[in-house]
Chain A
């Protein structure tokens, strides 16, 4: 996953979102040690103070915790990560519904469209092995 930063919103906020996403998708695992501020800043080509601000924010939200001598770690609270992932999914779904309603689809039609799309994708991926999504 690469760092994608747009110019129109605060960089620290975008960093916060992208690190959070990495945690929710499992790219950064629960309990894992995070690279140093400097290292992360160099990776994302951003100012170290900006990265620091993003990490402080994630500490406050509980996704990260600092250990005085050994650095910063991803929370070990797997339940909390799952919960946040669900909340994010709900947000995405809500946005999707709002856009579909704008296009004039009813709830029933949307459900039908989603069902058909899922089936089509499953058909396409038939030969691929099931990689164990929960």
Chain B
């Protein structure tokens, strides 16, 4: 895919007065935000705060009710699918699939998929081409999917709860894999409520609650200004 210079200017992800309404529920309510190139951004918020809705909209799976969402300056759709590498909260891969099937699927679907890179990472984890997803532990399955998503040379990585439900060792592997593999001028958005675990890998944080952006700032700045960890800050802001 050609990557024109024009596309490299401006934010990778931008929301302008973005709203998503389900019946009486405002999942996103006039959200304004921008994610710049080269940044690892934490999309943090309690359950039901709109994290997944925001990510799905950026991935082109949901359409805004009002306002605008832009990925590299374009509305999410067929044109942005090749720019965005998306790790959904729940898998879309079937149990019966072998590692080999999944590798082929990614190679066929995404021209920016680096097959060799994926194979190397899987090999290091002692995962074989003929292994079936069904026979893997939950943690291993999560690792496999993350490896696939991070083996693409995308402009924007959208990772929805990549460390939910895995043990601490797997968490470290997953975070290490994200850092070791994202393209340098791409942006990474990680949604999670496990703030303590991701805090040290983030450049910026966006706090989301009830569909609103509560806070959006560089992590170092927040820590210095408030003298607290992001985890503490979050607990204070969203105390029930």
Contact = CB atoms under 8 A, between A and B. Distances in A.
Interface of A: 5, 7-8, 10-11, 38-39, 41-43, 45-50
Contact of B200 (A8, A38, A42, A45): A45
Nearest to B177: A42
B139 to A, nearest CB: 16
B223 A38 contact: no
Contacts, number: 38
Interface residues of B, number: 18
Contacts of B180: 38-39, 41-42
Interface of B: 40, 172, 175-177, 179-180, 196, 199-203, 219-220, 223, 229, 231
A interface secondary structure, majority: helix
A43 B196 CA distance: 18
Contact of A7 (B176, B179, B220, B229): B229
A8 B229 contact: yes
Contacts of B223: 10
Nearest to A48: B179
Given A38-B180, A42-B177, A43-B176, A49 B203 contact: yes
B207 to A, nearest CB: 18
B229 A46 contact: no
